[in-house]
Structures are given as structure tokens and as C-alpha cells.
Amino acid sequence: MSVAGKRILLGVTGSISAYKSALLVRLLVKAGAEVQVVMTDSAQQFITPLTLATLSKRPVLSAFVNTQSDRPGDGSWNNHVDLGLWADALVIAPASAHIIARCATGLCNDLLSAIYLSARCPVFFAPAMDVDMYHHRTTVDNLRRLESFGNHIIEAEYGELASGLIGEGRLAEPELILAKLNAFWAVPSAPSGLSGKRVLITAGPTQEPIDPVRYISNHSTGKMGYAIANAFAKAGAIVTLVSGPTSLPLPDPSIQRVDVRSAQEMFEATQMAFADADIVVLSAAVADYTPAHPADQKIKKKETFFSLELTKTTDIAATLGTRKQPGQLMMGFALETDNERENALKKLYAKNLDWIVLNSLRDLGAGFGHDTNKITVIDKDEQIHEFALKSKDEVAQDLVSLVKKSL
């Protein structure tokens, strides 16, 4: 199953990213969906109803009562109840902070919010706003409230925003929104031992700020962690991916990605999701040290020698290991250059892990940046599982197989 043959109500609200709604309408129609666009008044300041009507092949609705320009010769009204019953899904994209607040609190002063309150179908919100608005406690609480009602949130993405700031708040790309809808109606595959299991995965590097333009980081690309997330998702697990900065696309639309930058942010995000996780895979390359006093302004080049005071970051694996509950499984990674197995075993026990995945930088084609990897896995019983050089997708499948066997 997919969006083909589905009736989609697309709500468009006031946001600069409303231009993406045209692309979304085109994708939905091309995929075989019937699309009825409903616009708020403010949305029409960013994109014209004519554009969306042409693409959807339906008049755009915006008011309770049709005017002559809406439907020539038709003096009827737009029945929000009938529209709510007609739809197989209501998708609000972009969803401004204003519409999110109205829907979360039950305010109903326009056609779109009236349809939302009348809808019996699944509802998807795709937020779009500036980074500070998106992270404001009010917006966060409103999104959680909407989610608690059974609505689906398509998280905003990280990137450059219209304000010039960089952060979370960009509307999810139309292709991702379509993929989320397709995944919602997808026929579930045969259950596996991982179906319904909650898996928490960390991936990518962290960036530790020195000043507003410089940071300490490492060569991790996140490829291994993203491959692992994809493998668990394909096996039926519910995956949360806490990702450091990377250019990689989300490998599976069902994965919930949480974007972070620093080691502290990664610790906080991982800590929040840890209690609900059945399986935890810590594959991120987290900085061991961070500048003790990041500068507020760009540091000017003056002295011949420059000293930087560093302080230890929180050891995520060790901290979570002390909080591990019976039944939880944890897998850590160790990238070593010498005394590989000895150092990996120390980490296995010191951090209360069930497996340690050992990478050696002395193995060609393994480690950061490659599409391949060569791993040795040591479990808590000190059994050693050695694998040949493989693609990272194949390595991820090997790791998932080890977890399945333990279950």
C-alpha cells in the first residue's frame, strides 16, 4: 500500500517554506493520490492559490463560504465536517507555530483548524519556523500535546533558515513527507525477533566549539551508524537515531532522527531516550574533551603559541551502563590503534556493555570515511566473532543478526 488512491487534505499555512507545498502536491498527485489543498489567509502571502489549484487539479479552499472566484456559479459553503470525513489523511505542511498552537489548544477560527477538529483520519504535522521558535518551550509542549492526541509529527530538519540562522526548523523535504506517508500505509513485513523493539543508536561525530566559527571534531562520517539504523528499521524495530553533524540522508523514513552537535547535546538526547530503549547501539565518535571556556567572539590570530584548556566530556556509554536495566542490551564501539583486543575488553567491562565492536585503524578499508568496514565483536562472555572486510550495510546486518540471536 502507498498514497496511491488515497485522498489527502493538504493544509498550507503562513511560512516562507510554503513554496515547498507546490512540490509536495506534485509528488502526491504523481504518486496517484487525490489532493485537496486548504490554505490559511497568511499562506496566500507566500504562494498563490492558483499555483496549488493548477497542480492539484482542484480549487483551493480557504474560507467557510465559497466566493464567486472560488467556484463560479457555486454559492455553497465548505463543510469542514464533510471534508474531515472525506480525507484518508490530513497533512499540514508547512505547519507554522501559530497553527500548531491553535490545534494543540482546540482554537477554531478558520477552515483549516475546523477541519482538524472534525477529522477522523490520521493527521500529520510538518513544522516549519525559525530555530528559536521551534525550540521554544511553548512549541515543544504543543508538539508533544499534538503527538499525545495520536497525531504524527514529521520533524523539522537542520540547516540554513530564511533568517540566516542555522539550526532546526526547516520544513522536511517533500520527498521525505511522501516517504513518511507511504511508510504509514505500507503493508507490514513478516514479524521478526526485533518487531516492536525500541532501538536507540548514536552516530556521526560531535563538534566541540572553540569560538563561534571553530570547533574540535573528528573524521567520523556517520556511515556505520546510519547503516545500523537502517538495518534495525528494516528488521521491524522502532529506531531513534541520535546523530552528530553529517551530510547523510535519513536511510529509512520510519527512523526518528534527533540532530545534535556537541558531546553534551548527544549525552542529553541519548539520556532522554535511554529508559524506553530495549537495545542501545553507541556507534558515534564522541569527543573525549571539549574546550573549557568557548569564546563568544572569534579568536583573533595574535600569539605565536595558543593554548586551549580542555575538560572531559561525559562518558555516554559508561554513564548509561550504570543505569542499564535487566533486559536492556548495549553495544559499544572501540576504534583502536594498538593493543586492540585488550583495550576493547577493558571498555566492555568498564562500561557494562553486552558487546564491544572493535575497529582497528591498521586494517585497510576500515574505520572512518570508508564504505567498507572490518570488525571484531567481543561479547560479555568473551566470545569473539570475527568478520571479513565488508560493506558497511553488510556489517550492519551482521550486528543485527548477533542481537537477534541473543533475543
Give the domain ranges of the chain: 7-184, 198-406
Closest CA to 131 of 96, 163, 84, 107: 163
- In order of 27, 62, 66, 69, 75, the CA distances from 72 in angstroms are 28, 15, 9, 6, 8
Which residues carry a binding-site annotation for CTP? 288, 298, 333, 347, 351
Distance between CA 257 and CA 225 in Å, rounded? 12
The predicted structure's pLDDT at residue 67: 58
The predicted structure's pLDDT at residue 73: 39
The CATH topology of domain 7-184 is Rossmann fold (3.40.50)
Closest CA to 335 of 301, 370, 305: 370
Distance between CA 143 and CA 127 in Å, rounded? 9
The predicted structure's pLDDT at residue 83: 87
Those residues of the chain that have pLDDT short of 50 are 68-75
The predicted structure's pLDDT at residue 85: 85
Is 290:210 a contact under the CB 8 Å cutoff? Answer: no
The CATH topology of domain 198-406 is Rossmann fold (3.40.50)
Predicted TM-score (pTM) of the model is 0.57
Residues 78, 109, 182, 218: which is the catalytic one?
218
The predicted structure's pLDDT at residue 77: 65
Known catalytic membership, residue 218: yes
List the grid coordinates of 61. Answer: 479552499
The predicted structure's pLDDT at residue 243: 96
